[in-house]
A and B are shown apart, each in its own frame.
Chain A
Amino acid sequence: MRLDEAKRRLRVLQDLPVPDARRLRDTPAGEVPTPRYAVWEITLACDQRCIHCGSRAGKARKDELSTQECLDLVHQLADIGVGEVTLVGGEAYLRNDFVLIVNEIRARGMSVTMTTGGLNLTPERVEALRQAGIRTVSISIDGLAEAHDALRGIPGSHDKAFAAVRRLRAVGVPVGVNTQINRRTLRDLPVLLERIAEAGAFGWQLQITSPFGNAADHPEILLQPHMMLEVFEVLRPILARAREHGIKIWPGNNLGYFGPLEGELRSLQKRHYKGCGAGRAQVGIESHGDIKGCPSLGGPENVGGNIREHSLAQLWTRSAELAYIRERSTSELWGYCAQCYYADTCRGGCTATSEPLMGRPGNNPFCHHRALEMDRVGQRERIEPVAAAPGIPFDHGLYRIVREWADPQRREAEGPISVDEPRVSRLQRRMGPGTSVFDETP
């Protein structure tokens, strides 16, 4: 289907209902919650080659959903109570029917947004998005030009991303920016904020690079856990400056937690982190119809089934994979997180960060509180690669956490204080803290 053909099929924007994107609270414990938010990878095709891409996007999957299957899925999303859908890829705009999907989502009374690298977000595509009823677009910009272009693998992609911001603003589509924080981008953030403000973005989503997909192959770009102290020293003035610009800071699920800036960082998210929402209020969809709780995690631990075999309602209510976060407790925590002051609220933070790192959720060293408490007793943590990733979408390798003295001389003289080895996956032991991968007998 050509883009102009898709545009001819769009409903008139003014005739579309007001989106019911109101966020409702979850149901009481023991009842199946209503997913209010969906993240939908509509294609794995991508025009960039990001070395931190979690889905290892590039070529479209062979069996991606057809236009009709996508439109049917829109109705299923509405029927189970979803209020907002974010389209991602790959690059969502590489499917010309993406505007039909946007339009259908709006026609069913849901809100629709899109996250994109913006490399080839042409004027035609921007206008089609506007006509289809897109609510906002978030452009991925990872640092200043040198870092961004290196991470995205495309020279000039930084400039094109900003061009996309301006293009969207010119037709009145509100634009946010999302940025990954890693060793290549951390120092760029203050200047990047100024550029974002100049470009007219209304908000800035920040997250740390997680070690899954292509990022698993690049430990050199990953932050070290002890660097969370530095991350928040960089963020402190940024939070104040963003307020001056009127830019709303929106931390991703894996940025925090519970340091002295937590309340300010999450001032728009009810003041502090409240735990992973995968399978509780949000559902993830892969381009060939796999349904999962967390949009950023894949594989058999997380995929509940395929939309071609079961209805979305069935998968949401019955699949054990989607129910994991609903069922888990503090009993799933291990290592430092098991004994943390915030264990019951935080529960190990972002699952899409801890599981790819350690092979199992429940122990997340990328935590401001944890880094602060380590620092208070003269210690720090770092990660070391243990096993490589196999090289498929949303895969991961394995790392270990080494706790050691912060003082270099003492560290050199005494060596590690302790080591958390990676643990067996949830395929081997679905619940509980699991055991070290090195303790498992064949």
Chain B
Amino acid sequence: MLPCPSCTRHVLGEEKACPFCESPLRSIPTQRVPVAVMVIAVGAVLCGCGPAVSDAGDTADASSSSAALSSSSGDTPVPGTTVPDPSTTTTDPDATTSGGTSIGDTTTGGDSTTLDDDTFDSCGGFYGGCPVDGGGVPYECDVFMNDCVQGEKCMPWANDGGEIWNASRCSPIAPDPGSPGDPCIVEGSAVSGIDTCVLGSMCFYVDPETNEGSCVEVCSNSEDAPVCLEGTCLVQFEGALPLCFETCDPKVASCAKDEACEPVSDEALDTDVCVPG
């Protein structure tokens, strides 16, 4: 579920327009959008509330649910509003229908999904208070080990509302995800930790205007002994962002046609890598 870029109300995936403000919503693009050349470290400083995109967790239920609810409006028909007819909410205690459509059927019924089960608010209820690090312990999972449950991947993200990767989280893997090198799109911003890339990769080189970028392989194994299927592992932002890059020689045109050879460095490495250009 993503916030509408216009009214900031959260909207279920697959919606073509926001049910609250009627603004049109974007869908996942099929074409890669080149972005400006940037040094990788600077690439982290991305921000901006991006357009709403489809969420892996919000399946086709969303549209049917919305339709049912639209038909349930009371006196004033407003798209997607949810003020049901009072007759369905008070006189019949078992009422779960609206406008002739069973809500129980349009949502998930009894099958509690993994997505719902494993994404509740942490830090229980009234007592936990705000964690001192703001958002719980920042490393919810091990990006190198990918120790999330099946259907999820461990992703770098910013847990403090900022613009720099500083934590890890388990995020749902999008349906039909993109492989390294494929175009991708992020939810909300480049540092949200939610994207359309396959397990073991993340959306990088994100254009803050479009939220579109390219899938890049994430380093595996461990921070002490990182492994890349292709390229070299660069661990940046105090370990929060370990990504694999193809190394290159700036004196030789070894990068792909739409890429440039740029210098990068981390604590252990000072090299040049290919970045989209």
Measured between beta carbons, the chain A residues less than 8 angstroms from B86 are 403, 417-418
Q: How far is the CA of A423 from the CA of B124 in the complex (A)?
A: 26
Given contacts A22-B137, A203-B132, A376-B83, contact A281 B93 (CB under 8 A): no
Q: How far is the CB of B135 from chain A (nearest CB, A)?
A: 4
Given A268-B161, A278-B125, A376-B83, CB of A250 within 8 Å of CB of B131: yes
In the complex the two chains form, is B131's CB within 8 Å of A263's CB?
Answer: no
Q: How many A-B residue pairs have CB under 8 A?
A: 290
Chain A residues, CB < 8 A from B222: none
Q: For the complex, would chain B's binding face be called helix, strand, loop or mixed by DSSP majority?
A: loop
- Contact (Cβ within 8 A) A344 B96: no
Is A338 at the interface (CB under 8 A from chain B)? yes
B residues 76-125 in Cβ contact with A at 8 Å: 76, 78, 80-84, 86-90, 93-96, 98, 103-104, 107-114, 116-125
Residue contact A25 to B148, C-beta cutoff 8 Å: yes
- Are B121's CB and A269's CB within 8 A? yes
Interface status of A81 (Cβ within 8 A of chain B): no
In the complex the two chains form, is B76's CB within 8 Å of A378's CB? yes
Provide the bound-state CA to CA distance between A352 and B188, in Å: 31
CB-based contact B129/A267 at 8 Å: no
Partner pick for A113 among B108, B129, B192, CB 8 A cutoff: B129
Report the contact-size class of chain B (Cβ under 8 Å from the partner): 35 or more
Question: With A22-B140, A329-B111, A339-B103 as given contacts, are A433 and B120 in contact (CB-CB < 8 Å)?
Answer: no
Q: Are A277 and B121 in contact (CB under 8 A)?
A: yes
Residue of B nearest to A38 (CB): B124
Assuming the contacts A328-B112, A336-B89, A377-B75, asked whether A250 and B129 have C-beta atoms less than 8 A apart, the reply is yes
A436 sits at the interface (CB 8 A) = yes
Most buried by A among B12, B75, B128, B151: B128
The residues of A that contact B87 with a CB separation of less than 8 Å are 418
Residues in A neighbouring B118, C-beta threshold 8 A = 25-28, 33
Chain A, interface size category, equals: 35 or more
Identify the stretch in A8-16, A62-70, A226-234, A251-259 within 8 Å (CB) of chain B at 4 or more residues: A251-259
User: A330, B140: Cβ atoms under 8 Å?
Assistant: no
A105 to B214 Cα, complex, angstroms: 44
Contacts of A174 in B (CB 8 A): 132
A263 close to B124 (CB less than 8 A): no
CA distance A411 to B90 in the complex (A): 18
The yes or no answer to B50 lying at the interface (CB within 8 A) is no
User: Which residue of chain A has the shortest Cβ distance to B66 in the bound complex?
Assistant: A341
* A314 in the interface (beta carbon within 8 A): no
Contact among A26, A248, A338 with B117 in the assembled complex (CB-CB below 8 Å): A26
Selected A-B contacts with CB under 8 Å, 7 pairs:
A25-B152, A203-B132, A249-B130, A267-B161, A277-B122, A326-B117, A369-B9
Besides A28-B117, A111-B137, 20 more A-B contacts (Cβ < 8 Å) are A21-B137, A22-B139, A25-B152, A25-B170, A27-B118, A37-B124, A39-B127, A88-B127, A136-B129, A203-B132, A204-B130, A248-B134, A250-B130, A268-B159, A277-B124, A284-B124, A296-B126, A328-B112, A335-B89, A378-B76
